[in-house]
């Protein structure tokens, strides 16, 4: 499954404008952006995957283009997809990236798998 390279460039610019150090990792059939070693945002096909505070999760779902993230048959609280119509403008994309960055310091790191 490919991801939208143009969206990847826009997300990179948004992180750089926020002066947020990030790394990229291909996973889940798309591209993830990690901040402080924790998944912060990503791309699946042409959708933004945003990791946000569960306290704003329900309100986020009411925003244009926002849907539950559902890979396994049940929604993942704190993760949402934002379809292209919700991130058409740079201001909208930047606002979503800011929500991801606001939550990142409180986000739990995933457990490392022993090799």
Q: Which domain holds residue 63?
A: 5-106
Q: Is residue 26 one of the residues assigned to a domain?
A: yes
Q: Is the pLDDT of residue 2 over 70?
A: yes
Q: What DSSP string runs through 21-57?
A: --EEEEETTEEEEEETTEEEEEEETTEEEEE--GGGH
What's the whole-number mean pLDDT along residues 16-34?
93
Dihedral over alpha carbons 2, 96, 79, 60 (to 10 degrees): -130
Residue positions counted in the chain: 115
Domain count, the chain: 1
- The per-residue pLDDT of the chain, averaged, comes to 92
Q: What is the mean pLDDT of residues 36-46?
A: 95
pLDDT reported for residue 1: 55
Within a domain: residue 16?
yes
Does residue 59 form part of some domain?
yes
| pLDDT score for 70 | 85
């Amino acid at each position: 499954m490919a991801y939208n390279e143009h969206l990847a460039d826009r997300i990179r610019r948004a992180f750089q404008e926020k002066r947020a150090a990030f790394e990229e990792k291909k996973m889940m059939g798309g591209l993830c952006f990690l901040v402080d070693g924790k998944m912060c945002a990503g791309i699946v096909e042409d959708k933004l995957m945003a990791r946000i505070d569960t306290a704003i999760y329900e309100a986020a779902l009411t925003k244009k283009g926002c849907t539950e993230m559902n890979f396994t048959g049940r929604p993942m609280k704190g993760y949402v997809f934002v379809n292209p119509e919700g991130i058409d403008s740079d201001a909208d994309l930047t606002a979503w990236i800011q929500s991801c960055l606001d939550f990142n310091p409180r986000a739990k790191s995933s457990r490392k798998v022993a090799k």
